[in-house]
């Protein structure tokens, strides 16, 4: 027996069943119906549909039909497992139809339908086909394919412009494109990409999109581990029936949406989303508090033999390091954000990290450090120094990253990073001070002007030496 509409009445009382039933109207198109979308945005829409049946989601997969086929076979139903101290199971019924890469005609029809007001996307950062500077990469193979003229675009940008062109030609108002990938300034970047793509083919369409289409910036957050065989077995046992497409996440979830001065369509704020004019403030807080602490735990934790975030947080010295860094170094350098209590956010982040049910591996978080360090920790270091402060926690955290590079490069262990070769060359020999200066000189995770700050160099050198022996307290006392 499989999960579907005809078996919903057989769910045990311990499983939360949908309160709304078909038929529901399609009001949203979503590109990229992977696990994060189904665990995050779809759960908000599922709540909206309890009181307003106009906003079911049509899920479009651009690359693979596997997920949409599995969901279609279950009438779009799947189980969301909340993994936390208070775990729960909820059947989501937010989707009205599922379209694979061969469903171009149906996708065109939906994007042209004035009943569709919102078009969301989770296609990863690469899916927006942007160049290094954040503008549309007009030489990207998918963009070149779509600009040549096609009834079946390959890119998200190509699809959105096709849908907006159809709206304009029919005299309908545009839908609201809303990117939900964690790309800084995602709304402005997608809007500029749409204008650039359209203008290349039709200057009038480009002007219309520039003037009439609003693309809100967003920030999304919820740890969503991959679905695996163990999850499928646990869900099947709890439901008493098979579910081929369950997803899981922590209980914490956040969806911050820019207020663009016009309705999005569904009342997402009523479902728990935050609508604000300052998405950037939320982004900055998440990047520095959550992501900065994540990276700190990854490098310092691996140096001390830990393997997951929860395991690192169970180490009192590591937990004290990130708490002190957030409280003393990061929060004082963040401007106030309307609607966000920074200290309450600090406490929620630490609580989430300590969740033993979510296994978030440190070696995964430790990847691509040279690209992450400038934004997760470097900006906080810079702001503190401009304020005349020596941020002990941030210095210890950076010391952990540099010690990790030294240890890995000298042991011959892999470093997963786009600049791995340069990092290994910088860290494989010499004193900690020499390694620091080589990294800063090449701007590998450290700012070049760091070499002009003798006090930071000396403090960081002592922190690296302490972290090489796993001495977190010594790194914090480096000043």
Residue that is last in its domain, among 238, 254, 277: 277
> Where do we find the tokens 């003229």?
149
pLDDT at 64 over 90: no
Which tokens sit at 382? 């810079």
Q: How far apart are CA 433 and CA 332, in angstroms?
A: 29
Q: Give Dmax (Cα) for the chain.
A: 70
pLDDT higher than 70, residue 202: yes
Query: Which residue is associated with the tokens 């009038």?
Result: 204
Q: Which of 165, 166, 161 has the alpha carbon at shortest distance from 177?
A: 161
Q: What is d(CA 463, CA 229) in angstroms, rounded to the nearest whole number?
A: 42
Tell me: do 264 and 324 sit in the same domain.
no
Q: Report the C-alpha gap between 16 and 88 in whole angstroms.
A: 8
Per-residue pLDDT, averaged over 189-202, amounts to 97
Instruction: State how far the Cα of 214 lies from the Cα of 176, in Å rounded to an integer.
Output: 6
Considering 255, 277, 299, which residue would you say is the last residue of a domain?
277
Please check whether residue 179 is in contact with residue 156, taking contact to mean a CB–CB distance below 8 angstroms.
no
Same domain, 68 and 125: yes
The stretch 52-72 carries a mean pLDDT of 93
- 106 with 207, same domain: the answer is yes
Please tell me whether residues 362 and 236 are part of one structural domain: no
Q: What is the pLDDT of residue 182?
A: 85
CA 332 → CA 115, 290, 301, 347, distances in Å? 46, 15, 25, 15
Q: How does residue 479 score in pLDDT terms, banded at 50, 70 and 90? A: low
Shared domain check, 432 and 288: yes
Residues 203 and 317 in one domain: no
* Position 458 pLDDT exceeds 90: yes
Query: Residue 93 pLDDT more than 90?
Result: yes
Report the candidate in 181, 164, 177, 185 with the shortest Cα–Cα distance to residue 127: 181
If asked whether residues 82 and 227 sit together in one domain, one would say: yes
Residue 198 phi, psi (nearest 5):
-65, -45
The pLDDT of residue 99 is 95
Q: What value does the mean pLDDT take over residues 210-214?
A: 97
What pLDDT score was predicted for residue 478? 75
- CB of 143 closer than 8 Å to CB of 227: no
**Are 325 and 393 contacting, i.e. CB atoms less than 8 angstroms apart?**
yes
Same domain, 214 and 151: yes
Rounded to the nearest 5°, which phi and psi values hold at 84?
-160, -175
Residue 254 pLDDT: 96
Q: What is the pLDDT of residues 325-379, one digit of tens each?
A: 999 999 999 999 999 999 999 999 999 999 998 888 999 999 999 999 999 999 9
Residues 213 and 293 grouped into a single domain? no
Query: Hey, what are 75's tokens?
Result: 């009438």
pLDDT band per the 50, 70, 90 thresholds, residue 123: very high
Give the Å distances, CA to CA, from 318 to 300, 393, 394, 422: 7, 11, 13, 29
Angle among Cα 365, 186, 184 to the nearest 5 degrees reads 45
Whether residues 43 and 164 fall in one domain: yes
pLDDT at 23 over 90: no
Closest to 195 (Cα-Cα) out of 177, 207, 182, 212: 207
22, pLDDT greater than 80: no
Q: Which domain holds residue 447?
A: 280-476
- The reported pLDDT for the residue numbered 359 is 86
Could you read off the pLDDT of 377-397 as tens digits, one per residue?
999 999 999 999 999 999 999
CATH value at residue 381 = 1.10.1040.10
Q: Are residues 41 and 152 in the same domain?
A: yes
**What's the CA angle centered on 453, arms 133 and 424, to 5 degrees?**
60
The 10s digit of each residue's pLDDT in 257-279 is 999 999 999 999 999 999 999 99
The CATH number of residue 46's host domain is 3.40.50.720
- Whether 172 and 242 map to the same domain: the answer is yes
Average pLDDT of the chain, as a whole number = 95
The structural domain count of the chain equals: 2
The Cβ of residue 326 has, within 10 Å, a number of other Cβ atoms equal to 25
**Is the pLDDT score of 425 beyond 90?**
yes
Q: Which of 247, 277, 307 is the last residue of a domain?
A: 277
For 3-16, the pLDDT digits (tens) are 999 999 999 999 99
Look at 44-53, 114-123, 302-311, 358-367 and tell me which has the smallest mean pLDDT. 358-367
- Does residue 77 register a pLDDT over 90? yes
* pLDDT tens figures, 213-245: 999 999 999 999 889 999 999 999 999 999 999
Residues in the chain: 479
């Amino acid at each position: 027996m499989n999960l579907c509409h005809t078996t919903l009445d057989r769910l045990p009382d311990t499983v939360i069943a949908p309160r709304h039933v078909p038929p529901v109207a399609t009001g949203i198109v979503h590109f990229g119906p992977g696990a994060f979308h189904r665990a995050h945005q779809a759960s908000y829409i599922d709540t909206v549909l309890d009181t307003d049946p106009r906003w079911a989601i049509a899920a479009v997969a651009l690359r693979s039909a596997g997920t949409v086929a599995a969901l279609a076979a279950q009438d779009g139903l799947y189980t969301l497992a909340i993994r936390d101290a208070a775990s729960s199971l909820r059947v989501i019924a937010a989707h009205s139809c599922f379209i694979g890469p061969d469903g171009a005609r149906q996708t065109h029809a939906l994007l042209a339908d004035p009943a569709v007001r919102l078009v969301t996307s989770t296609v990863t950062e690469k899916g927006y086909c942007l160049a290094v500077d954040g503008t549309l990469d007009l030489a990207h193979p998918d963009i070149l394919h779509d600009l040549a003229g096609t009834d079946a675009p390959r890119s998200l940008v190509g699809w959105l412009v096709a849908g907006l062109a159809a709206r304009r030609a029919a005299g309908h108002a545009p839908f609201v494109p809303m990117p939900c990938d964690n790309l800084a300034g995602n709304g402005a970047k997608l809007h500029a990409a749409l204008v650039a793509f359209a203008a290349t083919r039709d200057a009038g369409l480009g002007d219309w999109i520039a003037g009439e289409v609003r693309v809100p910036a967003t920030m999304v957050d919820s740890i969503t581990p991959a679905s695996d065989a163990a999850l499928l077995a646990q869900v099947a046992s709890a439901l008493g029936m098979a579910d081929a497409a369950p997803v899981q996440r922590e209980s914490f979830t956040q969806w911050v949406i820019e207020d663009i001065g016009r309705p999005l369509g569904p009342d997402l704020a009523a479902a728990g989303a935050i609508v604000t004019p300052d998405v950037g403030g939320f982004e900055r807080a998440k990047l520095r508090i959550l992501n900065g602490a994540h990276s700190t735990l990854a490098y310092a934790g691996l140096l001390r033999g830990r393997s997951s975030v929860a395991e690192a947080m169970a180490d009192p010295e590591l937990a004290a390091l990130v708490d002190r860094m957030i409280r003393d170094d990061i929060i004082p350098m963040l401007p106030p954000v309307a609607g966000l209590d920074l200290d309450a956010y600090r406490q929620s982040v630490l609580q989430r990290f300590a969740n033993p049910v979510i296994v978030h591996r440190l070696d995964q978080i430790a990847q691509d450090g040279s690209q992450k360090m400038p934004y997760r920790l470097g900006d906080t270091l810079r702001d503190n120094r401009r304020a005349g402060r020596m941020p002990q926690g941030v210095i210890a955290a950076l010391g952990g990253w540099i010690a990790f590079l030294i240890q890995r490069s000298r042991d011959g262990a892999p470093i997963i990073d786009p600049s791995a070769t340069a990092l290994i060359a910088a860290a494989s020999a010499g004193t900690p001070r020499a390694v620091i200066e080589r990294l800063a000189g090449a701007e590998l995770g450290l700012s070049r002007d760091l070499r002009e700050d003798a006090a930071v160099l000396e403090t960081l050198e002592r922190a690296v030496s302490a972290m090489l022996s796993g001495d977190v307290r010594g790194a914090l006392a480096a000043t």
